[in-house]
Structure 1
Amino acid sequence: MLSVELNDLEKHKGSLIGHSPWKTVTQEMIQAFADATGDHQWIHLDVERARRESPWKSTVAHGFLTASLIPLLNQQVINVQGKSASINYGIDKLRFPAAVKSGSAIRSKMELMDVTRVDDRRTLATYRTTVEIQGEDKPACVAENLVMYVA
């Protein structure tokens, strides 16, 4: 994990910050996300039908479940010190190139794209986060995620 002072964050602009540990996406997580969002499509929940009919031969995680794991994964990659809060400011250019099968392990790869001083207290960081799937060529998710750091 990279520990960096907020005032020194800009020194890492344009560089790979690192990778998170692998995290397994379980069927229980997929079910809980379906229940929370009301998205109960069979490709996410019906294990037997998915084995027979889906192109992945497995149930798959919702794309937005994968995206929602970005903060959890990324907080294991970088620790920005000298801030009172980190605020999820949004996501730009969100893509889902590959599906995450139930039981697959994912991790994030973080690159710092930009750092902008908004005012005396706020700094906006733009990270390119690639959510990789263990053993797969294509990533599950690629996003430019925005984090507002408040001093």
Structure 2
Amino acid sequence: MSKVIIGSFEEFEKYVGQELGVSDYLKIDQDRINLFADATLDHQWIHTDTERAKKESAFHSTIAHGYLTLSLLPYLWDQIVEVHNLKMMINYGMEKLKFNQAVVVDSEVRIRVKLLSLKNLRGTIKAEMEVVMEIKDSPKNAYETNVLFLYHFND
């Protein structure tokens, strides 16, 4: 699937209520989990101690931090939509976040995005998107959330 190209509010508005696309899968390996643990100072054993996790975790393996999976949104979003004529984009927030399933090490994840609403707030465009992170070969999603972005297009 090719990227959705957007250059203005009017072009963006055509997609309200529609699925914008699906990213490629990305593998979550132990190195990525360890780097995230180092960056966030969250070294809880369920994420970083592979031997203990094999023995004591309900997943029999380490799992990705929930916030690691959220932090992948910009990278995966970039695979779906390309915005031109943009001054800046701001992550504005999330609503209704629910983690549904742990992402076990070496799982592959991707996002599926639907544009729920678009509002022009005196030149600043507020986009609300439903984002679902899917886990390859799993019936349950990693999470579901509504993401809010603010777009400032060039005049």
Q: TM-score range by the shorter chain?
A: over 0.9
Cα distance, 1:102 vs structure 2? 0.8
Cα distance, 1:64 vs structure 2? 0.6
Q: 1:89 aligns with which of 92, 96, 101?
A: 92
Cα distance, 1:4 vs structure 2? 2.2
Q: 1:36 aligns with which of 36, 39, 47?
A: 39
* TM-score relative to the length of structure 1: 0.95
Cα distance, 1:34 vs structure 2? 0.9
* TM-align CA RMSD: 1.0
Q: Deviations over 1:23-50 (max 9, x none)?
A: 1111111111111111111110111111
How many correspondences in the alignment?
A: 150
The match for 1:141 is 143
Identity %: 37
Cα distance, 1:114 vs structure 2? 0.6
* TM-score relative to the length of structure 2: 0.93
Letter in 2 for 1:147: F
SS in 2 for 1:14: coil
* Distance in 2 (alpha carbons) for counterparts of 1:36 and 1:105: 21
Deviant stretches of 4+, over 2 Å: 4-7
Cα distance, 1:123 vs structure 2? 0.3
Structure 1: stretches of 5+ with no match in the other structure = none
Structure 2: stretches of 5+ with no match in the other structure = none
The match for 1:22 is 25
Letter in 2 for 1:60: I
